[in-house]
Structure 1
Amino acid sequence: MNSTTFGELLALVTPYIQKKDTILREAISPKQRLFATLRYLASGLTFEGLKFETAIAAQTLGHIIIETCEAIIKVLKKYLKLPQSENEWRNEAEAFARKWNFPHCLGAIDGKHVKIFKPPGTGSYYFNYKHSFSIVLMGIVNANYEFLMVDVGANGRVSDGGVFSNTAFCKKLVEKDLCIPEPENLTSTNIKLPYVFVGDDAFPLMENLMKPFSKKTLSNEEMIYNYRVSRSRRIIENAFGILASRFRILLNEINLCPEKAVIIVLTCCHLHNFLRHYKVESYYQGGIDVENINSGEVANADWRADPTLLQLQALRGRNTTTVAKQIRAQFCNYFNTVGAVPWQNKIFQQ
């Protein structure tokens, strides 16, 4: 974060974190409080480790950082929100089609486990499939690597399909309560298809949620479809990768109660969008995969060489509606006919 962006953020949070001096001691300034919080999030240092950099007692840091995180979430809430109208959703879809060649796509969805210390008296409640304790971060990212929605706090023990189905977003998606436009013709065609999100095998195939074909033997057409979905999903892989590489606290076991860990994760997501909005180049530098459409090769982002967040498990034995399968088949046909891109057949040469 550069000094200009730090100053912008400081001006926003100061009214919520400024304290008065007392007769006994001078209050810790908003600038010190914000610096300590950002350093904690970015470095992954413990409160004990951070006290030497900030000259603030570890116990005091524990109070300051949570309070400042709550203020950050409050003042940055406008940077992380779902579209509120059909036209806003269409704008997201147009950006997706323009940048990622996937029409009627509203965003990419994925989830990650964030490790925490085992909370006292919780048994195996937060125990995940990789034998660690965690809470789940579920997110949707738009074509510009910005989070449209995050849902944080499901316990790591819940099956990954259960995590998604229990989110407020999923319930609204099923109940058609998100202001998503009705199915429309794809541009310059008479092919009517719904607006959709794209996910991987951790998510169910739904009318408004497309995922790859997962059977062992795939036709060439299905392989092309899978490539187009995977290409579109790369944005959320990169968003999570950047998030974890810039906010190293997410790669450690967070030694806080689950409720405070949720605040930490939400703060990181809001800061991610804030920095994206202000186009802070150092934040994204080296953080995005680059595809050479002439050769079909992908140059991996720097974060892929580092530790990253734990992926959700693939769903097994999930019933899928006939309508959802038909919609996927229509997208598959589109990507292999009028919606084909010149470089997609290069996947067969790799």
Structure 2
Amino acid sequence: MDPREVVVFGAAAVLYLRRRRRTLRFWVHDTLQDRYQFGEYHRLVQQLRLDDERFQRHFRLDTEQFDSVLSKVGPLIMMNSTNYRRAICPAERLAICLRFLSTGDSYCTIAASYHMGVSTVSNIVPQVCRAIWDSMVKEYMPVPTTEDWLSIAEGFYQRWAFPNCLGSIDGKHVVIKAPDNSGSMYFNYKGTYSVVLLAVVDAQYCFRVVDVGSYGRTSDGGVLANSTFGQALLDGKLGLPQDALLPGAEHLGPQPHVFVADEAFPLRHNLMRPFPGSNHSGRRRVFNFRLSHARLIVENTFGILTSQWRMYRGVIGVSPANVDACVKATCVLHNFLRRTSKTPTRATLPPPAVDSEVAGLQAVTGVGSNNSTREAIRVRETYTSYFSTEDAVSWQHRV
């Protein structure tokens, strides 16, 4: 190559790079310099601390709960100030994250309210969400032990009249913005893009196991099969209790402890689903109702979660990895609120309304490809007989 051509090419490359180079003119934009005087955290939030009820409506946590969470996540989200800029304190970082989870507002809206850059908010929210999960999961959503499973089973029998039940399982589609170059992987049967939250819920409306991040196109049964929980359930590595007698039915012999689910899940000896179809009478209709009576707990829990954290009510416009972090944070915060709320919960609840019962009995057709073993069929038939004889209750005939 001619030396003159090399010089011309080099000069053009330097000019191109200079044009592409982003010149950093300031650390903090002039319009954001007054954050400590007019930012939401330094004005509104401090005023809300004087009214606990308004503070709770704003963040979904009261002041005592906010400070409790802050003490757990604070060391993980603390940043050091430099000669160029002052670090955002952990309390303000937590406030920004909770505001996003509780409203679902865009990063732009929150950034304008808190007088900071959009990129700053976009970094804070997933970082704090991961810190909430890492610092609170062992206390508020630990891996259940055999004793924990037995306690859950006792709660389901006392509150929901289903013995040997270890939890209610279902999946929830969390609607997201279509990720770039993702094709139809996240496109679900509802016509939206989503990731799936698979959850096991106990009798107290608390999450005991969650699996987040499966593609929206995957069925609930497929999500279970691909999850760590589903593999452990299939391999018998969950530490489930040994088979136990059903109350008042010693002659039936020990029966396995089971999870309850809807028609989208397979029938197994430790996973009960209703009889398919809707034209049932007699014992099968009673079994479907009793199973639905216990299974609706997980749907009620999803309803509480959605009502509490309103990011679920819209399209979450962040990356799937950050969506997973936000979902896990709300689940562990849900358990935290259930266990620390000052409002007492009722010890027992009446049977669901007739409309809920009928809705729970409606079956989804087209799922007959699930292969059921003889042992699983035997267990379901045993429960079917038990609910119509030894454990029959008056309200199961209301439908």
Which residue pairs with 1:323 in the alignment?
375
TM-score of the superposition, structure 2-length normalised?
A: 0.78
Are 2:311 and 1:249 aligned?
Answer: yes
| 2:93 alignment partner, one of 17, 27, 33 | 33
Identify the structure with the greater helix proportion.
Answer: 2
Aligned mates of 1:340, 1:14 — CA distance in 2 = 52
Which residue identity is paired with 2:191? H
Matches within 5 A, 1:159-238: 159-190=219-250, 191=252, 192-238=254-300
Which residue identity is paired with 1:260? N
Are 2:353 and 1:297 aligned?
Answer: yes
Which residue pairs with 1:135 in the alignment?
195
Give the root-mean-square deviation of aligned CA atoms: 2.1
SS in 2 for 1:185: coil
Aligned mates of 2:373, 2:248 — CA distance in 1 = 28
Matches within 5 A, 1:1-350: 1-78=61-138, 79-84=140-145, 86-190=146-250, 191=252, 192-281=254-343, 292-293=350-351, 297=353, 315-347=367-399
Q: For the structure 1 residues 315 and 112, does the alpha-carbon distance in structure 2 shift closer, same or farther, using more than 3 Å as the test?
A: farther
Which residue identity is paired with 2:397? N
| 1:130 positional shift | 1.8
Identify the structure with the greater strand proportion.
Answer: 1
Segments of 5+ residues of structure 1 without an aligned counterpart are 301-311
Aligned mates of 2:223, 2:240 — CA distance in 1 = 22
Q: Runs (4+) of structure 1 moved beyond 6 Å?
A: none
Segments of 5+ residues of structure 2 without an aligned counterpart are 1-60, 357-363
Which residue identity is paired with 1:81? P
| 1:159 positional shift | 3.0
Q: For the structure 1 residues 297 and 121, does the alpha-carbon distance in structure 2 shift closer, same or farther, using more than 3 Å as the test?
A: closer
| 1:81 positional shift | 2.6
What is the identity percentage for the equivalent residue pairs of Structure 1 and Structure 2? 38
SS in 1 for 2:209: strand
C-alpha contact (below 8 Å) 1:160/1:314 kept by paired residues: no
Larger mean Cα displacement after TM superposition, 149-158 or 124-133:
124-133
Q: For the structure 1 residues 12 and 54, does the alpha-carbon distance in structure 2 shift closer, same or farther, using more than 3 Å as the test?
A: same
SS in 1 for 2:394: coil
Aligned mates of 1:299, 1:115 — CA distance in 2 = 27
C-alpha contact (below 8 Å) 1:222/1:332 kept by paired residues: yes
| 1:218 positional shift | 0.7
C-alpha contact (below 8 Å) 1:243/1:272 kept by paired residues: yes
Paired positions, count:
328
